[in-house]
Amino acid sequence: MSEIETVEHKVPTGPDIIKKFVRTLPGSSGVYRMFDANGQVIYVGKARNLKARVTNYTRFEGNPVRICRMIAATASMEFVTTETEAEALLLEANLIKRLRPRFNVLLRDDKSFPYILLATDHEAPQILKHRGTRRRKGFYFGPFASATAVERTIAALQKAFLLRNCTDSFYAGRSRPCLQHQIKRCAAPCTGEISLEDYGELVQSAKQFLEGKSRSVQAHLSEEMNEAAEDLDFERAATIRDRLSALALIQSQGDSTAQTLEEADIFAIHQQAGQFCVQVFFFRAHQNWGNHAFRPRADASLSEADVLGPFLVQFYENRTPPRMVLLSHEIEDAELIAEVLSEKAGRKVTLGVPQRGEKRDLVDNALVNAREALGRQLSESASQKKLLEGLKETFGLPRVPRRIETYDNSHIQGTNAIGAMVVAGEDGFSKKHYRTFNIKSEDLTPGDDFGMMQEVLTRRFKRLANEVPEPDNVASDDEEGAATEGLPDWPDVLLIDGGLGQLNAVREVFRELGLKHDISLIGIAKGEERNAGRETFFMQGREPFMLPARDPVLYYVQRLRDEAHRFAIGTHRAKRNKAMVKNPLDEIDGIGPTRKRALLNHFGSAKAVSRAALNDLMAIDGISKTMAQQIYDHFNRAE
């Protein structure tokens, strides 16, 4: 009886379901979404002609295995028509990144790259590192592959163009030049050591240099240096000489330069063992501004070209493309993608696969880097899998863990207490899944590590249980789906830095929350005299035990524990340092960023605000009589 009921209530899927949608589809461009029996989006696609494209899914014949599996799993579809195919392409990329369908190519590591910003919203423009949304007025140069590359370039630009990098409030509070001026990294417009007009010329030269007009900038400086030498102004000539040396340093910082490539991104893709790696190089102003390796999620049956096209659209979905994009493989819809990128950039963007010359050499170099990066990753993954299998055998786990969470606390006598969670899986540490917890409970005794751990675990798993239903204790049979989705939401192993007491505190949390998921709990207590290699392990149903001193599994567990300790203490120190330099104005109700900036710009420092008279406070724009009285009372309570 139960079998009959199951068949009657089974949601129908497959080609027949898709045929019903085809009957009413228009022949216009648009985007389609395919859903499985559970209502999950499994694929997002775009089409110039929706009816023609979806008709291809009404039969299994002629389709590759991946598409047949997708067709068989489809229980429903939804459609959005668009004015143009370019609009459909952009909508498709947006939906893929947001919905993460399992049959699509997916850009997993969608990191935000840093830029150099010449901020022009101040009388004396500032140079600084920028990451994120471009809200501030100014000129943005990048992207750079790493923050280190940005900081190194900014330091050299300061030597070459003497631009300030201080905050506006620091600038407003200066009465004499700061150390940056003394070491010849700033022209000190704050104290009038240079006129704003002359400072503006320095800013314009820096802008031209970052735009690729380095030769004209260097020629101009060389001419100035020669003129100073002819006028016997050797000190000024030496200063300009140092600036020219700084420019030469910037030009030599890249791993390679490009004589014929002023502004371009280079994409090279390599496939091995069912995995893909896309290496992206950024060239700006004829300089290599770094590279980054991406690991897109894609079906192993796809070719490099099949993956590179969708990857490219998703990569530029929230980024401004350069004037030229060079590829290692010919891709489908290349003209359409070039049209979309040009519209996004507001100028023509050239997309192509170079066949000879310097551009081909640069693409080949990117391809070599992609091959080597993927080889290293596969080697590390193989070693990681062996360690996880060893962890299963050593600790008697029910299955090889796919997600391990390690917890630790950090505080000084209970102050600025922090709880930290680090996460590891088949690909090693997953830093994007790391979390910190500010200890909030006021009932805890200072230094109560057990209570802190209970608060951290309660908040972590209470939220997890509300957001993600508990999975079955038995590993899913869909190993392929599990692998492509990366780390699961629920951990298989919890590693607690502490002994039996900490472990019992965690068990109590699980009992109170009523969690049924089979999570293996392991406590690790430091050895005698805190020696590494003499740790004692605690697990439910087992006597405390130690591992051989040279056991690879022991080394692995130590790495997990040490990473949690490093992350916890680093976050604690940052919190403590922030508390030490907290501005007194932050303690006044009603003082937000705007009023705080107005006060600091006018008085120069919080200390000067504390000494200000009531009438002086009332004279500031944005500070009402009531607010001025509140500020005055805050600093003059004794009176």
Domain 398-578 bears CATH identifier 3.20.20.70? no
**575 closest CA partner among 429, 405, 437:** 437
Q: What would the mean pLDDT of 498-519 be, rounded to a whole number? A: 84
E strand segments, 372-459 = 403-412, 415-425, 428-429, 435-438
Q: Please report which confidence band the pLDDT of residue 270 belongs to, taking 50, 70 and 90 as the band edges.
A: very high
- CATH classification code of 13-99: 3.40.1440.10
Tokens of 376: 């290293």
51 compared with 223, residue with greater pLDDT? 51
Distance CA 151, CA 427 (A): 29
Q: Please report which confidence band the pLDDT of residue 484 belongs to, taking 50, 70 and 90 as the band edges.
A: very low
> For residue 354, how many C-alpha atoms fall within 13 Å in the half-sphere facing its CB?
23
Q: Residue 263: phi, psi to the nearest 5? A: -145, 110
Res 626: pLDDT: 86
Find the distance separating the first CA and the last CA of the chain, reported in whole Å.
86
Res 482: pLDDT: 37
Partners of residue 41 on adjacent β-strands:
35
Q: Where are the domains of the chain?
A: 13-99, 115-251, 265-272+293-376, 398-578, 584-635
586 compared with 156, residue with greater pLDDT? 156
E strand segments, 209-349 = 263-272, 275-284, 287-294, 324-327
Condensed to tens digits (0 to 9), the pLDDT of residues 107-143 reads 876 677 888 899 998 999 999 999 888 888 999 888 8
Q: What would the mean pLDDT of 603-628 be, rounded to a whole number? A: 83
Q: What would the mean pLDDT of 67-75 be, rounded to a whole number? A: 92
- At residue 247, does pLDDT exceed 70? no
Mean pLDDT for the chain overall: 82
- At residue 17, does pLDDT exceed 70? yes
Distance CA 81, CA 84 (A): 9
Q: Which of 91-95, 410-414, 539-543, 614-618 has the lowest mean pLDDT?
A: 410-414
Using DSSP, state whether 272 is helix, strand or coil: strand
603 compared with 137, residue with greater pLDDT? 137
What strands, in cross-sheet order, belong to the sheet with 126-130? Answer: 126-130, 115-119, 138-141
Per-residue b or e along 517-526, where b marks 16 or more CB atoms closer than 10 Å to that residue's CB: bebbbbbbbe
- At residue 333, does pLDDT exceed 50? yes
Fold of 584-635: DNA polymerase; domain 1 (1.10.150)
Q: What would the mean pLDDT of 436-454 be, rounded to a whole number? A: 76
- At residue 593, does pLDDT exceed 70? yes
How many other C-beta atoms can be found within 10 angstroms of the C-beta atom of residue 236? 14
**Cis before 143? omega within 30:** yes
Partners of residue 525 on adjacent β-strands:
536
Q: What would the mean pLDDT of 298-325 be, rounded to a whole number? A: 90
Q: What would the mean pLDDT of 426-454 be, rounded to a whole number? A: 79
Percent of the chain with pLDDT over 70: 85
pTM higher than 0.85 = no
How many other C-beta atoms can be found within 10 angstroms of the C-beta atom of residue 428? 14
- At residue 469, does pLDDT exceed 70? yes
Asked whether 404 and 395 are in contact (CB, 8 A), the reply is: no
Angle at 143 between CA 141 and CA 147, to 5 degrees: 105
Res 513: pLDDT: 86
387 compared with 235, residue with greater pLDDT? 387
Res 324: pLDDT: 92
Res 148: pLDDT: 81
Per-residue b or e along 345-359, where b marks 16 or more CB atoms closer than 10 Å to that residue's CB: eeeebebeebeeeeb
